[in-house]
Every structure is written in structure tokens, then in C-alpha cells.
């Protein structure tokens, strides 16, 4: 019986890894002169801009996330209680929506620059204009102020669980607040900063919409262009393999950042960090430091979307295709979420009952897809999908690509890690004695899962399912590459409007995506308070 569960979980893990393995086969089909052209003219520019972008985003998210996490965890100041959860709100806004909003807000004839010129007495954009947001600097700042919550979330949790005794010892030795943070709290939190930064950089590497809108030629955009604009699957696969080196480098840097460190405490219960009350100018600065990222990463783009949506509704009403696009978004995301939850439960349960090292490692193997950008995963998936559709014959047509099954497959392979991690966390809270008691009452492993594990792990499964659903609804690169013909989602509709420059026509779709994204943020805030 255990062998059957391990075999099924192995099949799920291999299915998640199949697109990555297929990349090699697709890349090998390309001619040498194609790779020579890519290596000489495309790869150097894309790799350089990708490296600059990731370095800049890493600096922004690490600085903003760590500073806000320390202020929220170590001090009490006006507005801290609502800023503590509001700092998570930028997670609800996909990066391409932030770029879409700021392109219109900061346009030379947009509301921000028009207001500045009016205050300064200038009549036109020829007399005065701000630096163009379509630049590497603009892309770094916009992505940084959307992705910093990954660092804030992990680092704040680490600060809250640090032993207050260590900080008290530093103060008794004459260290001030700044030195205590720099020499004690920050080194102890370095693993959390490294993990959060790596997650943020994975999301930045996966981005295709924001970088294209802002004029940054990343590897992700080059892979997308090679397939969509030139129909060059082999060249796209070769670029995708080169892009995987960045993924490996990010994982290695994250491991290096953690440094293999552990934390050893005394046997007695530790006294956790107590917040110090700030007053006067210091309190005002702390409030401003925490409010500024929220304003830039959420309030400004969300306010723009609300205003633009109201204008669009007043003049032209709801776009006629919006309901069909919303239905497509919800349907595909819901089907993918069910597949993700089923695969996650299967892998986590098989690892729990496994008696071999291979079985115990299945969840880690199944979760590798999350580290791969959606564009790379989609290009790898095109090889087995097109091969299957070719074998199916003309009578069945494009069975996988035409039905949306390939899109569901891509979502499941990329976000399976969410369900695996959530299910494992839920199962670890269930004592092994309950499994033994169920087995003595005649329950097979399937009965133990159905009657014991699933009911007790229901909250963890619900959280994982909600997070997976929202990630599927927001996913853009894989959707652009694998969607069937004449099949639009809210994300692809917004991308098309932004690409045409008709930002106001995509505002309602963007606002709907942000509303969907607020659900997991509310859940994370509630869990954080608990």
C-alpha cells in the first residue's frame, strides 16, 4: 500500500519536472548558427540587464523590508497596528499592474507631472518634465516597492522570535539602538533576509509585463519574444536554459546568505522582544518610514485604478468582454487549484508514510517548479504538449493547447510547492499517535488520510488553496504563451491594453485582479496577528 502511494507521488513529482527536462530536448533541436546569433547579440544584453535589475531589486527589497520589519517588531509608534498589516498590501498588486499604473500616473502629460508644472508655473511638458519612468532605475524602484513584503514577512517573524535577553546584554554593554540592531539583531535575522530576498528575486525574474512596459530587456522578455514574435521554439529553449543559470545562482546565494547557521537557545523559555515606545520626531519618522512603502507599492496604484475604472464606467460602461475574461480567469485558476491541492496532498501524505529516503524527498522534488520562472516552464512544456497533440492527430485537433489543459498543467507545475508546503505544515501538527490509532482500528493509509489527516489539516489546506488560486489568477508569462486561441484572462486583457497604450480600458480588469489579490493578504495579516 505504501508502495502505491510512493509511486503516485513520484509520478506527480516527475510530471512537475517534465517541462524542465524537456527544455534540453528543445534546445538541442536548434541549429548552431541560431545559438551563435543569440549568444552574440541577444544573450549578452539580456543577461547584463537582468543582472543589473536583480541587483537593484535585491538592494531595495532588503533595505525596505528589513527596516520596516525591525520598526514594526521592535518599536511602538502612532499607526503601528494598522501599518503592521498594511505593509503586506503590495503583495496584492502584480508587478505588471504597478508598471501599468505608474506609466499613466507619471506620463509627461499625466496627472502628477501636470500638477507639478502647475505649481511651478510651467505651461507645457517641453518646458519641464520629470525623468522618464521607462528606465532601469524606474523598473528597479517599482519592482522593489512591490516585492519588499517577501523580506518584511520573513524578517519580521524572525525579529519577533528573537530572545530579548541578547538585545538587553548588548544595551548593558553600552550599545545604542542603532548598534544593537546592526551588531546583534540583524546578524541573527540574516537567514530570514536571505530567504525573503531570494523569493522577491524569483518573482522579479518571472516578470515579463513590467519589464517590457518599462523598457528593460530581461532574459524573461527575450524568451517570450523568441517564441511569440519569431516562432523560434529552439531559440527560446536555449535562452531559457541560460536563464536557469540565474535561478541556480539565486538559490546558491540564498544558501550562502543563510550560511548554514542554526540557533541554539537555553533550555528554559526565552523572553521575546518587547516593543519600545517612540515619541516626538522619532515616532513621526518611524510612521513615515513604514507608510511610504505602502503608499508607493499599494495606495498610489490602487487609487489610480479606482479612479480610472470609475471614469471608464461613466463613459463607456463595463467592457463587453470583461465577464467572459473573468469567467476564464476563475475557471482555469479553480481547476488548477484543485489539481495543485490534489498533488500537494498526495506528495505530503506519501512522504509522511514513507519508509525510504526517496519517499521522504518527494515533496522537495515536486516543489522545484516554483523556483522556475513561468516563461521557462511554459517553453519547456510546449515540447511534450505539442508532441502529444501531434500524436492525437488532426481529428482531435490541439487537444492540450486548444482546451486550456496545457495552461492548467503549467499552473500546477509552477505552484505545486504552495500546496506541498501548506499540507506538510498541516500534517506536522498531527501527532503520529493518531495515525497509529487509526491503523489499529483497521484503516489503510487512504482511510487515515480521508478520516484523520484531511479533517485536521483543513485550515492549512484552505490557506494553501487560496494562495494557489490567487497566484494562478495573477500569472502572466505562462498564460501569454500557453492560452488557447481567442482565450483571454483578466491578466492577458490588461497586458494587451497596456501594450497598445490604452491604459484606461484595462483599469477595470486590473482592479479586479488587485481585489482577488487582497484575499491572501488578509489571510496573511490574520495569521500574523495570531
Gap between the Cα atoms of 21 and 27, Å rounded: 11
Gap between the Cα atoms of 349 and 516, Å rounded: 30
Lowest-pLDDT range of 78-87, 152-161, 263-272, 343-352: 263-272
Quick one: cell of 263? 540557533
Q: What is the CATH number of the domain that holds 329?
A: 1.10.3720.10
Quick one: cell of 459? 485550515
Per the structure, how many domains does the chain have? 2
Q: Quote the distance between the C-alpha of residue 73 and its chain's center.
A: 24
Q: Is residue 168 part of a domain?
A: yes
Contacts of 428 (CB under 8 A, 6+ apart): none
Domain identity same for 382 and 369: yes
Domain identity same for 343 and 305: no
Domain identity same for 247 and 117: yes
pTM: 0.80
- For residue 290, name the pLDDT band (cuts at 50, 70, 90): very high
Q: Is the confidence at residue 528, as pLDDT, over 60? A: no
Q: Is residue 395 part of a domain?
A: yes
Beta bridge partners of 272: 163
Q: How far is CA 352 from CA 72, 135, 426, 464, in A?
A: 37, 49, 12, 18
Cβ count within 10 A of residue 486: 5
Domain identity same for 87 and 10: no
Residue-wise pLDDT for 29-48, tens only, equals 665 566 666 777 778 888 88
- For residue 264, name the pLDDT band (cuts at 50, 70, 90): very low
Q: Is residue 472 part of a domain?
A: yes
pLDDT of res. 423: 80
Q: How far is CA 503 from CA 443, 477, 497, 509, in A?
A: 58, 19, 6, 11
Domain identity same for 409 and 450: yes
Pairing of strands 75-76, 276-277: parallel
Residue-wise pLDDT for 506-518, tens only, equals 888 888 888 888 8
Domain identity same for 43 and 98: yes
Contacts of 493 (CB under 8 A, 6+ apart): 321, 322, 325, 506, 509
Domain identity same for 19 and 120: no
CB 27 within 8 A of CB 234: yes
- For residue 266, name the pLDDT band (cuts at 50, 70, 90): very low
Domain identity same for 251 and 362: no
7 by Cβ neighbours in 10 Å (0-12 / 13-18 / 19+) ranks as exposed
- Could you give the 3-state DSSP secondary structure of residue 30? coil
Q: Is the confidence at residue 263, as pLDDT, over 60? A: no
Residue-wise pLDDT for 164-220, tens only, equals 666 666 667 666 666 777 777 778 778 888 888 888 888 888 888 888 888 888 888
Q: Is residue 254 part of a domain?
A: yes
Q: Is residue 117 part of a domain?
A: yes
Domain identity same for 245 and 368: no
Residue-wise pLDDT for 395-405, tens only, equals 445 567 767 88
Beta bridge partners of 75: 276
Domain identity same for 297 and 427: no
CB 175 within 8 A of CB 183: yes
> Side-chain half-sphere of 424: how many Cα atoms within 13 Å?
20
Cβ count within 10 A of residue 421: 18
The parent domain of residue 482 ranges over: 1-27+322-487
Q: Is residue 199 part of a domain?
A: yes
pLDDT of res. 141: 93
**DSSP assigned state of 356:** S
Q: Is the confidence at residue 16, as pLDDT, over 80? A: yes
Residue-wise pLDDT for 100-149, tens only, equals 889 888 888 888 888 888 888 888 878 888 888 889 999 999 999 999 99
Q: Is the confidence at residue 363, as pLDDT, over 80? A: no
DSSP notation for 209-268: HHHHHTT---HHHHHHHHHHTT--HHHHHHHHHHHHHHHHHHHHHHHHHHTT------SS
Alpha carbon distance, N-terminus to C-terminus of the chain: 39
What is the arithmetic mean of pLDDT over 57-72?
93
Q: Is residue 521 part of a domain?
A: no
Domain identity same for 388 and 481: yes
Domain identity same for 252 and 303: yes
pLDDT of res. 268: 46
Q: Is residue 526 part of a domain?
A: no
Amino acid at each position: 500500500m505504501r508502495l502505491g502511494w510512493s509511486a503516485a507521488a513520484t509520478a506527480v513529482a516527475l510530471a512537475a519536472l517534465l517541462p524542465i527536462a524537456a527544455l534540453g530536448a528543445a534546445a538541442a533541436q536548434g541549429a548552431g548558427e541560431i545559438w551563435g546569433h543569440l549568444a552574440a547579440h541577444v544573450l549578452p544584453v539580456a543577461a547584463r540587464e537582468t543582472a543589473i535589475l536583480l541587483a537593484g531589486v535585491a538592494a531595495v527589497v532588503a533595505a525596505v523590508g528589513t527596516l520596516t520589519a525591525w520598526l514594526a517588531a521592535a518599536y511602538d509608534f502612532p499607526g503601528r497596528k494598522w501599518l503592521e498589516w498594511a505593509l503586506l498590501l503590495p503583495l496584492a498588486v502584480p508587478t505588471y499592474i504597478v508598471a501599468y499604473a505608474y506609466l499613466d500616473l507619471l506620463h509627461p502629460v499625466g496627472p502628477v507631472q501636470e500638477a507639478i508644472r502647475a505649481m511651478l508655473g510651467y505651461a507645457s511638458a517641453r518646458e519641464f518634465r520629470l525623468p522618464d519612468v521607462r528606465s532601469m532605475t524606474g523598473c528597479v524602484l517599482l519592482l522593489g516597492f512591490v516585492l519588499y513584503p517577501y523580506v518584511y514577512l520573513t524578517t519580521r517573524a524572525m525579529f519577533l522570535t528573537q530572545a530579548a535577553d541578547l538585545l538587553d546584554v548588548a544595551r548593558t554593554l553600552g550599545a545604542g539602538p542603532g548598534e544593537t540592531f546592526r551588531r546583534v539583531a540583524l546578524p541573527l535575522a540574516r537567514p530570514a533576509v536571505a530567504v525573503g530576498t531570494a523569493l522577491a528575486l524569483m518573482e522579479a525574474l518571472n516578470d515579463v509585463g513590467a519589464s517590457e512596459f518599462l523598457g528593460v530587456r530581461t532574459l524573461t522578455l527575450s524568451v517570450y519574444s523568441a517564441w511569440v514574435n519569431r516562432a523560434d521554439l529552439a531559440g527560446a529553449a536555449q535562452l531559457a536554459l541560460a536563464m536557469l543559470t540565474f535561478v541556480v545562482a539565486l538559490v546558491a546565494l540564498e544558501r550562502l546568505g543563510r550560511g548554514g547557521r542554526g540557533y541554539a537557545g537555553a533550555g528554559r523559555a526565552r523572553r521575546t522582544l518587547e516593543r519600545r515606545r517612540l515619541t516626538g520626531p522619532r515616532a513621526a519618522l518611524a510612521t513615515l518610514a513604514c507608510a511610504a512603502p505602502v503608499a508607493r507599492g499599494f495606495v498610489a496604484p490602487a487609487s489610480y485604478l479606482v479612479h480610472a475604472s470609475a471614469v471608464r464606467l461613466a463613459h463607456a460602461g463595463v467592457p463587453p468582454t470583461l465577464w467572459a475574461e473573468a469567467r476564464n480567469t476563475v475557471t482555469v485558476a479553480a481547476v488548477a487549484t484543485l489539481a495543485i491541492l490534489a498533488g500537494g496532498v498526495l506528495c505530503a501524505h506519501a512522504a509522511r508514510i514513507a519508509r525510504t529516503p526517496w519517499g521522504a524527498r518527494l515533496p522537495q522534488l515536486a516543489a522545484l517548479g516554483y523556483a522556475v520562472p513561468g516563461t521557462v516552464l511554459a517553453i519547456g512544456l510546449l515540447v511534450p504538449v505539442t508532441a502529444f497533440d501531434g500524436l492525437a492527430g488532426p481529428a482531435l485537433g490541439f487537444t492540450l493547447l486548444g482546451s486550456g489543459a496545457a495552461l492548467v498543467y503549467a499552473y500546477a507545475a509552477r505552484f505545486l510547492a504552495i500546496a506541498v508546503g501548506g499540507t506538510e505544515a498541516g500534517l506536522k501538527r498531527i501527532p503520529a499517535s493518531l495515525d497509529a490509532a487509526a491503523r489499529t482500528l483497521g484503516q489503510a493509509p487512504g482511510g487515515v488520510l480521508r478520516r484523520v489527516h484531511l479533517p485536521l489539516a483543513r485550515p492549512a489546506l484552505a490557506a494553501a488553496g487560496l494562495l494557489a488560486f490567487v497566484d494562478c489568477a495573477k500569472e502572466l508569462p505562462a498564460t501569454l504563451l500557453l492560452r488557447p486561441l481567442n482565450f483571454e484572462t483578466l491578466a492577458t486583457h490588461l497586458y494587451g491594453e497596456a501594450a497598445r497604450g490604452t491604459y484606461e480600458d484595462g483599469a477595470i480588469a486590473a482592479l479586479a485582479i488587485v481585489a482577488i489579490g487582497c484575499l491572501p493578504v488578509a489571510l496573511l495579516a490574520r495569521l500574523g496577528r495570531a
